[in-house]
Amino acid sequence: MNGPRADLVDRSAAELREAASFVAMHPLVAAEFHREEFSLIRRHHLHLNRWFTQRFGYRLQVSADTARLYKTTVVPRRRPLRTAGTQPRPFSVAEYRALALALAAVVSGPNVVSLRDLVGDMRAAAAEAGIEFATESVDRRALVTALRWMIAHGLATELHDGVDAYRDDEDADAVLEVRPDRIATLPLPLLAQAETVEQLVDRRQSRRSVRTWMRALLLEEPAVYRSDLSDAEWSELRRRIGEEADYFDEMFGMHIEARAEGLMAVDVTGRLTDVTFPPTGTVGQAALLLIDRLSRQQAARVSYDEVTEFVRQLAADHDEYWSELRNQPERLTAEALDLLADHRLVELGGPQEGVSVLPAAARYAAEPVDEEVPML
C-alpha cells in the first residue's frame, strides 16, 4: 500500500507503539508533565486498553488528565521505587514507610493540607498501625524524599513554601495541594488480596492464565530463565515464541532473544529501560568488572567473603579513578551485587549460600567463558 493512506497507517502504528511503550514504562501518567505522551495515550485509549487487557491482563484507565495502567498480572522480583531527581536511587525502608503513611493520610482529602497537619496525621496513622514515625532527622529526610516523589508524579503540588526546608528544620511548614483521585488509583488489587509480603509476591495466583502471565513476565523482568517456569510452561512459551515476538514488536518495537537457558525481550529503542547496565559511576564500573570476574569462576556459587575480596582487589586496581566508595569494600560490594541482581545477572542467596551467576551474565564477560556454552 502506497500513498496518503499508507502514511496514515504507518503514523498510527508508530503512535500506538510510542504510547504503549510510554505507559508500560510509566504506569501513572500526569498530563501536566507529559502532555504529548498523554495526548497519544488518550487518543488511542481504546486500542491500547484492548492490547494490554487481552495480551497482558493489565487494565488502562484514562481520565481528563491522568492515565493509569494497572499491572495486576506480575509483581517483578526486584523493581524498587526510585527517588525523584537527577540521580535516582532505590527507596530506603524509612522512605517507603514515610510514603505509605503520607498517602494514607491524604487519600481521603482535603485537597489542600499544610505540612504540619500532614505530619500530625501521619503520626496518628503510624500509631494506629503500630509502627514508629517520629520527627527525628532521619524521619524528616525520609518524608521529604517521599513528598518529592509524590510531587514528581503529579500526586501533590507545592502551593506555598517548599518541603525541602523540613529536612533540616522541624518547625518548617509548607502548603500542599494533593490529588486524592490520583492517589486512590495507586493500590493494585493484589494489595487487597494479600495480608503478608509472601502472599503479595506469590506468583501462583497470577498463573491462572498461563500465557498472559508468561507474556507479562517477559515484559517486566530483564530475563526469563528456564528455571523460572515449569516444564509445561516452558514448552508452551517456546512453542508460541513467534506469536510472542510479533506482539512485542507490534506494541513496543522489542524483539525476543531466545536461548536454551531462557528468553529476553530486548529493548532496542531504550524506551522501556529504566536503569541501563552498566550505569556510570563507581558502582556501575565495579559491577561490570565483578560480573566478568564471577563469570570466570568454576564454582556454581561464590561466597560473599570471596566476592568482597574481589571488589577489594578491583578497588585497589582503580584507586585513582573511583570515588571514596572504593574505601568501603563491604558497602561497594553490596551495592554492586544489588545492581547485578536487579538485572538478573546474579542470584543472591542467604549468608551460607552466597552468589550464583545467571546465564545472562555471559553477555558481559570480556572473553567467552566457554565456547560451548550458549549465551543469552
pLDDT in tens, 261-304: 999 999 988 888 888 888 889 999 999 999 999 988 877 799 99
Range 328-340 average pLDDT: 95
CATH class of 93-183: mainly alpha
Q: Is 282-364 in CATH node 1.10.10?
A: yes
User: In the structure, what pLDDT confidence band is assigned to residue 85 with cuts at 50, 70 and 90?
Assistant: confident
CA distance readout (Å), 121 to 106, 259, 307, 314: 9, 53, 45, 48
- 40 vs 78, which has greater pLDDT? 40
Query: 219-238 in b/e burial notation, b at 16+ Cβ within 10 A?
Result: bbbbbbbbebbeeebbeebe
**In the prediction, which pLDDT does 232 show?**
92
**In the prediction, which pLDDT does 9 show?**
62
**In the prediction, which pLDDT does 206 show?**
53
Secondary structure letter of residue 337 according to DSSP = H
**In the prediction, which pLDDT does 204 show?**
52
- Fold equal for 93-183 and 282-364: yes
**In the prediction, which pLDDT does 369 show?**
46
User: In the structure, what pLDDT confidence band is assigned to residue 136 with cuts at 50, 70 and 90?
Assistant: confident
pLDDT in tens, 88-132: 888 999 999 999 999 999 998 889 999 999 999 999 989 988 888
> Residue 87 is which amino acid?
Q
Percentage of the chain modeled with pLDDT above 90: 67
Enumerate the β-bridge partners of residue 90: 82
CA dist 278 and 284 (Å) reads 5
User: In the structure, what pLDDT confidence band is assigned to residue 345 with cuts at 50, 70 and 90?
Assistant: very high
What does the mean pLDDT of the chain come to? 88
> Residue 339 is which amino acid?
L
User: In the structure, what pLDDT confidence band is assigned to residue 2 with cuts at 50, 70 and 90?
Assistant: low
Please give the model's pTM, rounded to 2 decimal places: 0.86
**In the prediction, which pLDDT does 373 show?**
47
CA dist 40 and 12 (Å) reads 10
Could you tell me how many helices (H) and strands (E) the chain has, helices first?
Answer: 15, 12
Percentage of the chain modeled with pLDDT above 70: 90
For 71-75, 315-319, 353-357, which range has the lowest pLDDT when averaged over its residues?
71-75
Q: How is the chain split into domains, by residue range?
A: 4-70, 93-183, 203-266, 282-364
Answer whether residue 49 shows pLDDT above 70: yes
**In the prediction, which pLDDT does 1 show?**
52
pLDDT in tens, 152-191: 999 999 998 889 999 999 999 999 999 999 999 998 766 6
User: In the structure, what pLDDT confidence band is assigned to residue 221 with cuts at 50, 70 and 90?
Assistant: very high
CA dist 128 and 308 (Å) reads 42
Strand order in the sheet with 156-160: 112-114, 175-178, 156-160
Answer whether residue 341 shows pLDDT above 60: yes
Range 44-51 average pLDDT: 97
